[in-house]
Amino acid sequence: MKRLPFLLMVPLFLLCAGCGSQQEASRQFFAMDTVMNVTAYGPHGADAVQAVQQTVSRLDGLLSRTDADSEISQLNAHAGDGTAVAVEADVAQLLRLAQDASGLLPGTFDVTIAPVMDAWGFTTDDRHVPTEQALSDALALVDGSALVVDEEASTARLERPGMEVDLGGIAKGFAARQAEDAFRAAGAEAGILDLGGNVTVIGSRPDGGAWRVAVKDPQDTERYLCVLSLSDVTASTSGGYERYFEEDGVRYHHIIDPRTGWPAESGLLSVTVVSADAVLADVLSTSLFVAGEEQALDFWRGREDIELILCTADGRVLVTEGLSDGFQPAEDGGYSYETVRR
């Protein structure tokens, strides 16, 4: 399979080189349980990458479920005791966005999935298939309607004991949105924000062209499915290859179907969503992975603000028509490629 000259390697995307000699500033840091990379071009680049790191690190401190001092941990700690936990405006906004997102494809996304994630051990080093009783007990606590958010008062509460919020399916998209605002406010107009698989490309490359983003092959992450030409959008990919374990010869991945409590079996290996809305791209890459091919394409046909790449278990790569210009398929990857039209 063809290899590319890479400027930057990221978990789910590879950003192609050829950016010219314009002044560049870049930084790598760890946040939200992943390595992040930021690159900016122009005289304000150093200020922009600093602003991005500060923005993301601040949100990480507020949203981390494993940090006992975070606002999300405080919300979880008071589940069922009637306490309306005071949260910062950004946290209240994100929780409201998460609730709204759960209504896009009902049943495929729920931020109260945390007890089920814990039952599988995905938040620990002890990953295992839960007992039927443990999974049933955990699944009974998944109920997004029992998360009450008051944006005006900037408070939130969980109505039932044992419930917990896990924002892993939306937090990076929200961080990307906030980071892009900070990037632009610092005076930078072109660059790349790789926030652990949510890749936001801003403006154009220094040579005037679009950024080229290569989507990884979920069956061999050293290879790629295709290369996209993108500007001023976020590309987010979800796939079962990101986090998984094997038990008794069976592989179990971390993308849980909230309706069953089991890893989603939708016939998809990965879903890439491209949108100018970073939050939408992030949450839909998970929701559509759970939903499956038919429902994902039906959803896409009803909207104008997203484009998709679906990699199916039977070896097909489906590319929606809005990405067809500048789309470059990989060579000799064993996949068939199809452009999907409305």
Residue 140: C-alpha distances to residues 204, 230, 242 (Å): 48, 42, 26
Q: Look at the chain and count its residues.
A: 342
Q: What is the pTM of this model?
A: 0.92
In the structure, what pLDDT confidence band is assigned to residue 14 with cuts at 50, 70 and 90? very low
In the structure, what pLDDT confidence band is assigned to residue 6 with cuts at 50, 70 and 90? very low
Structure tokens at 166: 């896990």
pLDDT in tens, 38-66: 999 999 999 999 999 999 999 999 999 99
Give the CA count within 13 Å in the CB-facing half-sphere of 74: 15
Say which residue the tokens 């064993």 belong to.
Answer: 334
Average pLDDT of the segment spanning 163-179:
97
CA–CA gap between residue 202 and residue 74 (Å, rounded): 35
Q: 177, 279 in Cβ contact below 8 A?
A: yes
> What stretch(es) of the chain map to CATH 1.10.3980.10?
65-158
Give the CA count within 13 Å in the CB-facing half-sphere of 24: 16
CATH superfamily of 6-61+170-340: ApbE-like domains (3.10.520.10)
pLDDT at 11: 34
Q: 334, 290 in Cβ contact below 8 A?
A: no
Q: 258, 212 in Cβ contact below 8 A?
A: no
CATH superfamily of 65-158: ApbE-like superfamily (1.10.3980.10)
| Region of poorest pLDDT, from 121-125, 166-170, 173-177 | 121-125
Tell me the β-bridge partners of 118.
none
In the structure, what pLDDT confidence band is assigned to residue 22 with cuts at 50, 70 and 90? low
pLDDT at 12: 37
Q: Radius of gyration of the chain from Cα atoms?
A: 20
Tell me the β-bridge partners of 320.
340
Say if residue 165's pLDDT is above 80. yes
